[in-house]
Structure 1
Amino acid sequence: MFILKRQDVEISSIVHPKRDQQVPVLHYQGQTFRLISLFKASQEEEARALWRELTDNRGKACVLLEEEERFSVWGKIRLDQFESEASNQGNNKILTVACILLLQAVYMDIEELLGAKQASSFKKEISTILNQWQFPAASSPNAIDYLLSINPIEPIEIPFWQEDYVTVFLEDLHRLGKAFFGSSDFAHQVMDTLHDMSVPERTVFINWLKESSLSKLWH
């Protein structure tokens, strides 16, 4: 939608209605946007890819903010909808947040331990799965870059996956992780990333996991 410079916009903050924290918001020509993702100055290509994914493939109203030291992507929101959106914290969102956190943890471990080439191969495998199963709001070619770049803990727009999608995703994520690392040991380690979630939300996911067919895979 827009590619803007810092002098073009006003940035302030509002109190998140469900959390005791300030949330940054960007104002431009009477419109309000909230932060989706931050990128270092060296990550211009990644920032532009995310911005294009949201605007071109998802039809979202977004701002790409260019600054000397960083790039950032912001999504449009009406302030009067903020509280109602934030209160919509159903189990499907919690399960999806956990999936994205585990995906990011597996990817980072592969990149760190096995190298960039293996990490790229992993991304292609995941993209194929998302496309084959037509995951809601995640089956486009650039969807994997979006999922790997966002912080799903923040109040941003993420896809809501029903339980059957969550089950398929976690089964295939475990299968790929085992194939890349050569064993299932990675699963226990990446589960630590769930500590980024709030205690109540993490408890919801863990309890769901224990009662699902995936309980023996992710432990």
Structure 2
Amino acid sequence: MLILKRKDVDIANVQHPKREQTVPILNYQGQTFRLISVFSANQETEARGFWRDLTDNQGKFCILLEETERFSVWGKIRVEQLGSDDDASSQIVPLTQACIILLQTVYFDLEDLFGARQAERFNTELMKVLQPWNFPQLKTAQDLGTIIDVDPLEGNVPPWEEHHLITLLQEMYRIGKAYFGNSSFAEGIDELLVDMPSEEQQYFIKWLGQSPLGQMWH
């Protein structure tokens, strides 16, 4: 179990051998770690809880990195393993599909309740906080609008990784709560995912429950 400061480690972007994207890799004392999750500066409790669960309950060797504007959790990996994560890649697809469905639901609920202008403001605000995290295929508010307009269950989804999905759900919850005035929009999500195959839907719900996200979206 390690809690480190930014000055203690080196972080570099490594080209993924099978995808057209780079992957952030943390180096510490000759060991390499891959980004698992990101938390904002005011989520220290959630970050520590997530890190402790991985280390204490799941037996994983992880680093909690304390930075000025965020906390991040990194899991040990060998760089050569990056080329052998096809199974993990296929497992991320239903998670991405579910996250996009939630995004679309929040957007269209805002549009129905408050009008198109407020929905677009939500998009713009969400995009501002997502941009620093380098989401593949998501660089502008127009890209976000395209994702909202396309059925994620029909066709390809962006090649996002787990830390992208966690960041998306965290920020969407935070901003959505400010727009709606409460968190009711994040309740009853199983009803929103009825078009997904049951097995994939349950896989997403289980994934949510294994992180602090399960306290937000349920």
The normalised TM-score by structure 2 is: 0.57
Amino acid at match of 2:118: Q
Per-residue deviation at 1:138?
A: 1.3
Amino acid at match of 2:157: I
Per-residue deviation at 1:88?
A: 9.7
Amino acid at match of 2:149: S
Instruction: Name the structure 2 match of 1:38.
Output: none
Does residue 201 of the first structure (1) align with residue 197 of the second (2)? no
Note the residue ranges of structure 1 that are not aligned, 5 or more in a row: 1-86
**Contact 1:91–1:204 (Cα < 8 Å) also in 2:** no
User: How has the CA–CA distance of structure 1 residues 209 and 88 changed in structure 2, closer, same or farther, with 3 Å as cutoff?
Assistant: closer
Instruction: Name the structure 1 match of 2:144.
Output: 144
Note the residue ranges of structure 2 that are not aligned, 5 or more in a row: 1-86
Q: What fraction of aligned residue pairs are identical, expressed as a percent?
A: 38
Alignment partners' CA distance in 2, 1:167 and 1:88: 16
Alignment partners' CA distance in 1, 2:90 and 2:215: 25
Query: What does 1:18-37 correspond to in 2, within 5 Å?
Result: none
Instruction: Name the structure 2 match of 1:17.
Output: none
**Aligned pairs, how many?**
132
Instruction: Name the structure 2 match of 1:103.
Output: 103
Per-residue deviation at 1:122?
A: 0.6
Deviations 1:137-193 (A, max 9, x none): 212342111111100011x12112211111111000111110100001111155522
User: How has the CA–CA distance of structure 1 residues 194 and 89 changed in structure 2, closer, same or farther, with 3 Å as cutoff?
Assistant: farther
Instruction: Name the structure 1 match of 2:130.
Output: 130
Alignment partners' CA distance in 1, 2:214 and 2:148: 24
Instruction: Name the structure 2 match of 1:173.
Output: 172
Amino acid at match of 2:171: D
Alignment partners' CA distance in 1, 2:138 and 2:170: 17
The normalised TM-score by structure 1 is: 0.56
Alignment partners' CA distance in 2, 1:182 and 1:146: 26
Alignment partners' CA distance in 1, 2:178 and 2:188: 16
Instruction: Name the structure 2 match of 1:113.
Output: 113
**Contact 2:124–2:141 (Cα < 8 Å) also in 1:** no
- Range that drifts further, 124-133 or 106-115: 124-133
> What is the alpha-carbon root mean square deviation over aligned residues?
1.9
